C-alpha cells in the first residue's frame, strides 16, 4: 500500500481517496486449487479508483468523509483544499487505523465539535 502511494506521489499525483475499498489484493492465478494461503500467496496490492486524483498543488472538492484530513474541512461543511501528499498520508493513516481497530473513526465529527466550541468560547473539560 505504501509503495503504491509513494509511486503516485513521485509522479506528483495525489489520490485524495485512500481507503480500504480502493486497495485490491491480487493473488497469483497459477497456485494449485486449495493451496492458496495469505502468508505465501499475495503478490500485489493495487490501488484503484482515481476519480478524485489531482496533481500536487491543484485544488480539489470532495473525497471520502470518513478519511478526510482536518485541513480539508471548511466552515461551510464542504471538503476542499490544495492537493498535497500530506492529505493522502492522513487518509492512509486513517485506513491503517481502521485495519487495526476494525472501526472507521469519523475524525471530522471531533473537528466540527472543536470548531463549535472555539466559536462559542466553551470547552468540554
Confirm whether 30 is domain-assigned.
yes
pLDDT at position 115: 57
Residue range(s) defining the domain that contains residue 66:
2-120
- pLDDT tens across 22-58, in order? 998 877 665 556 655 555 555 678 899 998 899 999 9
**Backbone angles phi and psi of 36, in degrees to 5:** -75, 135
Give Cβ neighbours of residue 67 (< 8 Å, ≥ 6 apart): 18, 19, 90, 91, 94, 95, 104
Confirm whether 72 is domain-assigned.
yes
Give me the residues of the chain with pLDDT under 70, please. 28-43, 63-66, 75-78, 105-125
Confirm whether 80 is domain-assigned.
yes
Confirm whether 36 is domain-assigned.
yes
Confirm whether 42 is domain-assigned.
yes
Length of the chain: 125
Q: Find the farthest-apart pair of alpha carbons in the chain and give their distance in angstroms, rounded.
A: 64
Confirm whether 125 is domain-assigned.
no
CATH of the domain at 94: 1.10.510.10
Provide long-range contacts, Cβ within 8 A and 24+ apart, for 56-62. 56/9, 56/12, 56/13, 56/14, 56/83, 56/84, 56/85, 57/12, 57/82, 57/83, 57/84, 58/14, 58/82, 58/83, 59/83, 60/14, 60/16
Number of domains forming the structure of the chain: 1
Is the CB of residue 50 less than 8 Å from the CB of residue 7?
no
Q: Enter the pTM of the model.
A: 0.68
Amino acid at each position: 500500500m505504501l509503495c503504491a502511494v509513494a509511486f503516485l506521489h513521485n509522479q506528483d499525483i495525489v489520490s485524495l481517496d485512500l481507503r480500504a475499498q480502493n486497495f485490491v489484493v491480487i493473488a497469483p492465478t497459477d497456485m494449485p486449487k486449495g493451496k492458496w494461503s495469505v502468508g505465501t500467496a499475495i503478490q500485489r496490492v493495487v490501488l484503484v479508483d482515481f476519480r478524485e486524483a489531482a496533481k500536487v498543488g491543484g485544488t480539489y472538492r470532495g473525497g471520502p468523509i470518513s478519511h478526510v484530513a482536518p485541513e480539508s474541512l471548511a466552515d461551510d461543511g464542504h471538503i476542499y483544499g490544495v492537493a498535497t501528499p500530506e492529505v493522502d498520508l492522513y487518509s492512509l493513516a486513517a485506513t491503517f487505523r481502521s485495519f487495526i481497530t476494525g472501526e472507521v473513526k469519523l475524525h471530522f465529527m471531533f473537528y466540527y465539535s472543536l470548531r463549535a466550541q472555539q466559536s462559542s468560547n466553551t470547552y468540554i473539560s
